[in-house]
Amino acid sequence: MPYGLRGADNATLEVFGGKLRVKDRGLDCRKIAEWKTYHNPSTGFTIQHENKAVVHILFDSDYAFITTDATTAIADGSVIGQRLKIIVTSTSNVIVANFTVKNNANTKLLGDWVRVLLGASVIPSWLDLVWDGSNWQQNNTNDGMPTAISGVNAHAEGILTIASGTTSHAEGADTTAGGTTTHAQGSSTTASGDYSHAQGLQSIASLYGQFAQAAGRFAANGDAQFTRTVLRNNSSDTNWKELFINGFNVRWTLADNHSYACMVTITARMSSGGAEGAIFTRRLLIERTAGTVTMRSGPSSTWGDYNPGGAYNIQITADNVNKNLKIEVKHDDGVSAKNVRWVAVVEAVEIGY
């Protein structure tokens, strides 16, 4: 048997009166216990468990349409932090059932968890839950298609999706969420930069905190897309300060053999006293070819800056040492140093060849 209910010795899986019950005498999950095939029970059942970490629902080859009970979907946990994993497979390793755990009662999910009808060989479908003392909270899930989840508190759904980063989310078809707290959705998208988001078709968000969107590609993913990234830093003297994506050391780097038509918006706000803020907009074309970063056009102003007293200063250059678009800022009114916060948004049309 490729899959089974895992529990302590003498555990059993019983089906009765439209209810699924796991009976076990211990908490330890070590050995494969007795299992029974699930034969089309009545719609609306309660998943009952006796302090077990795994409930394995095994279908035979019959088609089944099953939904948890609306008010008592899953029996309460015994201790805060208890984990419960619900696994769905079949004797033929082909999932042929519609199985639903509803987002209601004491089961708090991101949405109804549905194992949809399929007629192809797939890996097991599972839902992982944590008891918080009042409700079962969704931890992560594999929605049953060929998906892979390795990140802590990650979520993968759809087909050929991978959620490997901590608290990452991959959905759609052939998407990869590899960075920490990333979101990849659509088809053939990749969110590899921490806190990034890739969507549409064949987009890549490789930078920290980057948003990327595409509707296809020429030859490689990410070679025809739009991206948006936010940079920031503080200044408190008259020296130039570089803006970074994470505020202190992550730069806006360029992919090799790519060009970027950029609109850069920079704004500043002083802590107190004097003129409180400024705004600058610049348009530019920057590229990286065979490892060399070059500013091809600009930066040029798109409309008039707002710069009270001329005290706020910016400069945007191509940094070939770090392979990035370099944005530097400072405040100098010729009187005294001021504490200023700076934020820049880089919106880019990216093309690779």
Q: Where are the domains of the chain?
A: 6-144, 155-222, 226-352
Distance CA 322, CA 23 (A): 61
The per-residue pLDDT for 313 is: 95
pLDDT over 70 for what percent of the chain?
A: 69
Q: Pairing mode, if any, of strands 97-101 and 64-67?
A: parallel
Calpha distance 256→136 (Å, rounded): 47
Residue 180, amino acid: T
For residue 117, name the pLDDT band (cuts at 50, 70, 90). Answer: low
For residue 91, is pLDDT > 70?
Answer: no
Residue 112 three-state SS: coil
The fold of 226-352 is Immunoglobulin-like (2.60.40)
Q: Retrieve residue 23's tokens.
A: 């009976």
Which pLDDT tens digit goes with each residue over 223-243? 999 999 999 999 999 999 999
pTM of the model: 0.64
Burial 261-274 (b: 16+ CB within 10 A, else e): bbebebbbebeeee
- pLDDT bin (cut points 50, 70, 90) of residue 104 is confident
Mean pLDDT over 73-83 rounds to: 84
d(CA 105, CA 69): 9
